[in-house]
Structure 1
Amino acid sequence: MTDESGSSSTIFVGDFSDDHLTNKNWPEIEFRSPEDEAWYGVSVWEMCDSLVVSFNGFPGEYDEVYPPDDFKNSDEIKEFEERFRATSVQMQDHECSTVSEGTKVCATCPSVTGEVKFYDAIVVKVEREKHGRDEEGNELCGCNFRLYWNQGPFVNQVTSAKVGDICLKQEDNRMNPKVVSFLKEARRKLHGGAHQGDETEWQKILKKVTSAMRNHNLISSDTENHG
């Protein structure tokens, strides 16, 4: 999936504290789409109990809708949670010195189709070049970054990238409250949680066990009395 401008952005996983629900300064987020496993800048909103993920720069027909009861186990919920993170930021020329072997980045993956998509990668080598200056005196980085791809069409391969191809991951682990709320509802449904007044699956099991034990005790008592 590629946006109308041919560019994309990147995302995050986070801390799900309820205290964050009172904080309105949420970081922009990105989402790793199951369709192509690339990262896209997104916004999220609620539709009934479902979470709607809208891709920035794409028409509404590309929206993805996730019902809270669509997860088969806790691992699937965790995997979905990890598809969100704070939007990665375009690397600037003067930030070259902060990137070295082992730095985790989100970068433009080479594409024969011309599509601009972002995937996670690890810097395995930096071939340093002396930085220059443009006419306005701004620093220009000409270094070559060797990237090992964790995702995308070049997964497990190494390719080269320039500073303009790379986005730096953010350390902000706060999660959008709409995502937090959705994940809680998904876990509630998965584990048999119910609204007030409804019996959970575990409560139903306990009732059956209690009834069986009561009947067993009654039978035992009758047997002893007749003995």
Structure 2
Amino acid sequence: MSDESGSPTFIIADFSDDDAANENWPEIEFRSPEDEAWYGVDVWELCDSLVVTFNGFSFEYDEVYSPDDFKNPEELKEFEERFRACSVQMQDTECATLAQGTKVCATCPSVAGEVKFYDAIVVNVSREKHGVDEEGNEVCGCDYKLYWNQGPFVNNVTSAKVGDICLVQEDKRMKPKVVTFLKEARRQLLGEAPQGKETEWQKILKKVTSAIRDHNLDPSVPENQG
């Protein structure tokens, strides 16, 4: 996606400046630069920086991003696209919603027994008659062939069952903290003047952020995602 000049066009996900006007922000997931897998995360602000916290993991795995981490608009756009609304576990009754070409987020096979999620495309569905379990719930036994966009099987096709697949959501809204960070990073890239004078408290927080980054308190993303 580019503008007429050929420069990348920023998405800057939908949000309202009034948090109270939209309290039901979707939970978000983040594609880790470490392994390109998707993880459920939360975010919080540390001065101008954005802290990404991985759900289910201790704070040692938090990642801190500064607005000046990005050298060009392409890098910022790529970072923005690492955030999206959390994918949702596919249910047996939703079998019919999947067809050739559907984008999904699925558990990738791993000889190490790791549970990680990567994006894939459905290339074929072998339909089987659905059964029922002891409680009368519908059970899907269909086989799905997935072409992997990321992960250890990238550019290959493997089989998956309904329990391996999550549905990618169409909700384009993003938590305001992420959007605010993206706007500040874009402002710095464009060399625009900051909005308002920096306070002493903000200067202190910047020093704290710098200390965290300098002492490597934000190590690499965890190897496993439950």
Distance 1:165 1:82 in 2: 23
**Matched residue of 2:95: which SS?**
helix
Distance 1:144 1:128 in 2: 7
Residue 111 of structure 1 corresponds to which residue in structure 2? 110
Distance 2:16 2:144 in 1: 40
Using the size of structure 1 for normalisation, the TM-score is: 0.79
Worse-matched range after superposition: 22-31 or 155-164 = 22-31
Residue 224 of structure 1 corresponds to which residue in structure 2? none
**Cα distance change, pair 197–110 in 1 and its aligned pair in 2 (3 A):** closer
Larger Rg over CA atoms: 1
**Does 2:185 match 1:186?**
yes
Distance 2:95 2:17 in 1: 36
Distance 1:196 1:53 in 2: 24
How far residue 191 of structure 1 moved from its aligned partner, in angstroms, is 1.1
Distance 1:89 1:195 in 2: 38
Residue 159 of structure 2 corresponds to which residue in structure 1? 160
Cα distance per residue 1:72-122 (max 9 Å; x no partner): 001111000000000000000000011111110000000011000000000
**Matched residue of 1:54: which SS?**
strand
How far residue 195 of structure 1 moved from its aligned partner, in angstroms, is 2.6
Residue 53 of structure 2 corresponds to which residue in structure 1? 54
How far residue 193 of structure 1 moved from its aligned partner, in angstroms, is 1.5
Using the size of structure 2 for normalisation, the TM-score is: 0.79
Distance 1:69 1:92 in 2: 42
How far residue 17 of structure 1 moved from its aligned partner, in angstroms, is 4.5
How far residue 196 of structure 1 moved from its aligned partner, in angstroms, is 5.3
Residue 205 of structure 1 corresponds to which residue in structure 2? none
Q: Is the 8 A contact 2:43 2:177 kept in 1?
A: yes
Q: Give, as a single letter, the amino acid of the residue that structure 2 aligns with 1:15.
A: A
Residue 16 of structure 1 corresponds to which residue in structure 2? 14
Distance 1:102 1:15 in 2: 24
Distance 1:70 1:173 in 2: 24
Residue 73 of structure 2 corresponds to which residue in structure 1? 74
Distance 1:38 1:111 in 2: 13
Q: Give, as a single letter, the amino acid of the residue that structure 2 aligns with 1:167.
A: C
Worse-matched range after superposition: 189-198 or 110-119 = 189-198
The number of residues matched between the two structures is 186
Distance 1:68 1:143 in 2: 46
Aligned 1:165-180 pairs, distance under 5 A: 165-180=164-179
CA RMSD of aligned residues (A): 1.6
**Cα distance change, pair 197–169 in 1 and its aligned pair in 2 (3 A):** closer
Higher relative contact order (CA 8 A, sep 6+): 2
**Cα distance change, pair 159–187 in 1 and its aligned pair in 2 (3 A):** same
Cα distance per residue 1:163-183 (max 9 Å; x no partner): 000000111100110000000
Distance 1:16 1:129 in 2: 40
Structure 2 gap segments, 5+ residues each: 1-10, 198-226
**Cα distance change, pair 123–189 in 1 and its aligned pair in 2 (3 A):** same
How far residue 16 of structure 1 moved from its aligned partner, in angstroms, is 3.2
Structure 1 gap segments, 5+ residues each: 1-12, 199-227
Q: Is the 8 A contact 1:20 1:174 kept in 2?
A: no
Cα distance per residue 1:132-175 (max 9 Å; x no partner): 00111100000000000000000000000000000001111001
